[in-house]
Amino acid sequence: MNDKKVKGIEPYDRPAGGWGALRAVASALAGQMAVGRESVALTKMNQPTGFDCPGCAWPDPKHTSSFEFCENGAKAVSWEATGKRAKPGFFAANPVSQLWNLSDYALEGLGRLTHPMAYDAATDTYREVSWDDAFARIGKALRALPDPDMAEFYTSGRASNEAAFLYQLFVREFGTNNFPDCSNMCHEATSVGLPESIGVGKGTVTLEDFDHCDAIFCIGHNPGTNHPRMLTTLRECSLRNVPIVVMNPMPERGLERFTSPQHPTEMLTGKSTPIASTYYKVKIGGDVAMLKGMMKSLLERDLADKAFISEHTSGFEALAADIAATRWDDIETVSGVSRADIEVAADIYANAQRVIVCYGMGITQHKHGTENVQQIANLMLLRGNVGKEGAGIAPLRGHSNVQGDRTVGITEKPNQALIDGIERTYGFKAPATHGHDAVAAIQAIRDGRSKAMISLGGNLAVAMSDPEASFAAMRKLDLAVHIATKLNRSHLILARESIILPCLGRTEADEQATGMQSVTVEDSMSMVHASQGSLKPASEFLKSEPAIVAGIARATLANSKVDWEGMVADYDRIRDGIESVFPIFEDFNQRIREPGGFRLYIAASERNWVTEDKRAHFLVARGLHEDGLVRGGDTLLLTTIRSHDQYNTTIYGLNDRYRGVTGRRDVVFVNPEDLAARGLKHGDRIDVVALGAEAGQHAEREVRGFVAVSYDIARGSVAMYFPEGNALVALENHDAKSGTPAYKSVAVTLHAARASDTRAA
Ligand SMILES: Nc1nc2c(c(=O)[nH]1)N[C@H]1C(S)=C(S)[C@@H](COP(=O)(O)OP(=O)(O)OC[C@H]3O[C@@H](n4cnc5c(=O)[nH]c(N)nc54)[C@H](O)[C@@H]3O)O[C@H]1N2
Ligand SMILES: Nc1nc2c(c(=O)[nH]1)N[C@H]1C(S)=C(S)[C@@H](COP(=O)(O)OP(=O)(O)OC[C@H]3O[C@@H](n4cnc5c(=O)[nH]c(N)nc54)[C@H](O)[C@@H]3O)O[C@H]1N2
Ligand SMILES: [Mo]
């Protein structure tokens, strides 16, 4: 479809995985100046006795002993285990104003942080400080706040259960529930939406269920890049002839075909396994329309499971009335999929006795993310596909422990059980007033209501919508503390006092007073297991995240009820605390010593519905969501996605192999007909302008000089990379129910770039 040659754009015609993935690992390792650390590390990844891969939250096969290969896991590990170091001498020689000019890629490329540092305004540099000094400064600044609710405590989903539990304990003893966390930008729509539907905010399936399912739906996620080990599971299902139905506006290679590096014959013969049996290029934001279409088709043909519905659910009549009132014309327009095609999807669904639906950010990061999630639950409940072997709902979580962090108390809305558990165990009364999520935290900082921010990992200012607003807000802080492994842009946005605290990564040995420690994590399927690093730490001055949290707590809380030192000396004591506060962790220390760990109880998996009426709920979403409606004129809907060479705001490289992009990220994927309708051509430089309500208070929200790439994406839909596209997302543009930013539904127009931007593409 592309007649013109554009630098760095060449369709990729091979399967996902295969030799391309092995080559990419080799070059990732070489690029980090491997000195053996990484290759040693890779053999310990996702082993019963090794460390948990920091890449994603896809579960490990139980009792596995063979190394499960994953290109992007290898990149994540080599990125952490790099031989490069960003030392105090470097910071002394490079003022922050100069570091600011480096790209995000270059900043993290400086390597691992080695010393605690504090910003010195006189020289505009970060200067080495002692740990004691750093903790004392932080404690003093926090105590100086007139109100504990004027501080924000961010958590990245990379943090272990032990670090996160200590962190929430400290913050609650300090006196606030301000817990913005990365889940707020990610699966909050799941955490808010699923409890209303099925009584729990987590997925209901286990990895073993994939061995028993007879159809899989993959909606709005890209496993080839973001959950690569999932391709092994999908491959096995495909080989069992399980239909795999994809709903995605883009043709994602990992969902099309896969060559497994684990299988020598596939590698040597160049064969691949097809993944999707049917691929629906639904329009961005068209999912509710398609899901309602499938339900309509089922109901019209009387294919609902009446026995299950009457025994286990409520709300069916209202749902049926809503679906009956929804017109096929509208369903087709909004979804971009024909009635005939939707009926095929409904047939596949109805012909299967055990269906699993997997979904990711293509569902949650919308203005109606919560309702999107709930329509998936409706579809599943219609035929009893929740709470039986081989069937269920599988949200693909983001960070490797984002789910665990929530389980152990990182939440801005604590329930009574959590408050009581803390009082029972530690003897202090935790605050009950709801705190801030991520969007609310930035708004509070912007408005001067919050003056301090501590970040346990992450690069929040860049990951958030509207970085310009976030950057300006962060500059108003009195105190900014970053607990991190590598330098990123958020660290360079200076507060009155800015402090960087370097921590151990998950691959590294963590030795405390009683010996080597392990931590625990919970994956997407509620499996909790231990993770123990073995590499020599990147610097002798690093501390573990639990030790850093405890250090801050001791410097801040005058008469703390918590034995911080004792817990850090022996993480078993932290786990005893977790078990006492959260009884579902019964026998925690025994159970994580078993290879593969254990699964937390998920009531809905056993058809135990933890809702007021003890039933699962059909929930009506009004209309088909304007997200998917082209708003007349020239409007298109923009989604912002990850490339193959990035981990969130960490950019490993400038390639997006499966989408055929090499050496650049300044691209906008557009359907050829949408390009032609605007008089634009493949390779043209364009400006992207965000519109209307989406633009929030700024009429002029735009990014300029990007390159239009003619691409087989659904009509009316355009895509660009995150975080390049974040400037187009207003802070106010989020799901009303869950607060999840609408990173994937931004109404935009495209224009030939102004003269100043027309460099050669
Ligand atoms: N290597 C690597 N692994 C990662 C990450 C990473 O950055 N790199 N990030 C981690 C984190 S924190 C997360 S949250 C996960 C994210 O994992 P994903 O959910 O896979 O993330 P995205 O790249 O945002 O892509 C979502 C997919 O949704 C599709 N999509 C976009 N809009 C729509 C829509 O309206 N409807 C539908 N049906 N589909 C749509 C896109 O085409 C894309 O294929 O991955 C985790 N794993
Ligand atoms: N437009 C758009 N924006 C998005 C998204 C999108 O799809 N589109 N996705 C959103 C989602 S789902 C997410 S989760 C966010 C996340 O976005 P980020 O905040 O970028 O995510 P992280 O990977 O948590 O943060 C990266 C930083 O974590 C630090 N780090 C790495 N390992 C460790 C460790 O072991 N300990 C500590 N303390 N620090 C460490 C490093 O310093 C690194 O710079 O972005 C969100 N933003
Ligand atoms: Mo995420």
Residue 334 has pLDDT above 50, yes or no: yes
pLDDT of residue 754: 84
CATH class (in words) of the domain with range 629-757? mainly beta
Site residues for ligand 1, CB cut-off 6 Å = 55-56, 72, 186, 219-222, 225-226, 247-250, 252, 282, 284-285, 287, 360-362, 398-399, 639, 641-642, 646-648, 744
Residue 755 has pLDDT above 80, yes or no: no
Point out the ligand nearest to the CA of residue 252: 1
Which protein residue's CA is at the shortest distance from atom 10 of ligand 2? 185
Point out the ligand nearest to the CA of residue 363: 1
Distance 223 CA to ligand 3 centre (A): 13
- pLDDT, mean over the chain: 92
Distance 555 CA to ligand 2 centre (A): 27
Point out the ligand nearest to the CA of residue 362: 1
Burial class of 130 by CB neighbour count within 10 A (0 to 12, 13 to 18, 19+): exposed
Distance 395 CA to ligand 1 centre (A): 11
Query: Count of alpha carbons within 13 Å of 417, Cβ hemisphere only?
Result: 11
**Atom number of ligand 1 nearest to Cα 361:** 19
Percent of the chain at pLDDT above 70?
Answer: 92
Distance 181 CA to ligand 3 centre (A): 10
Q: How confident is the model at residue 127 (pLDDT cuts 50, 70, 90)?
A: very high
Helices (H), 529-635: 545-556, 564-569, 571-581, 588-591
- What DSSP letter does each residue of 334-370 carry, written as one string? HH---HHHHHHHHHHHHH-SSEEEEE-HHHHSSTTHH
pLDDT of residue 149: 98
Q: How confident is the model at residue 28 (pLDDT cuts 50, 70, 90)?
A: low
Mean pLDDT, residues 121-144:
98
User: Which of the following CATH numbers is that of domain 188-395: 3.60.21.10, 3.40.228.10, 3.30.230.10, 1.10.238.10?
Assistant: 3.40.228.10
Range with the poorest average pLDDT among 43-52, 284-293, 655-664, 720-729: 43-52
Q: How confident is the model at residue 34 (pLDDT cuts 50, 70, 90)?
A: very low
As its CATH architecture, domain 85-186+401-595 has 3-Layer(aba) Sandwich (3.40)
Residue ranges of domains in the chain = 85-186+401-595, 188-395, 629-757
Most informative mutation of 56, 218, 656 for ligand 1 (most atoms within 8 A of CB): 56
Site residues for ligand 2, CB cut-off 6 Å = 108, 156, 158, 182, 185-186, 361, 365, 398-399, 456-460, 463, 483-486, 488, 503, 505-506, 545, 640, 647-650, 722-723, 725-726, 729, 743
Distance 463 CA to ligand 2 centre (A): 7
Residue pair 70/228 in contact by the 8 Å Cβ criterion:
yes
List strand residue ranges (DSSP E) for 573-710, in order. 598-599, 616-617, 636-641, 646-647, 650-651, 667-670, 685-690, 702-710
User: CA–CA separation, 570 vs 564, rounded Å?
Assistant: 10
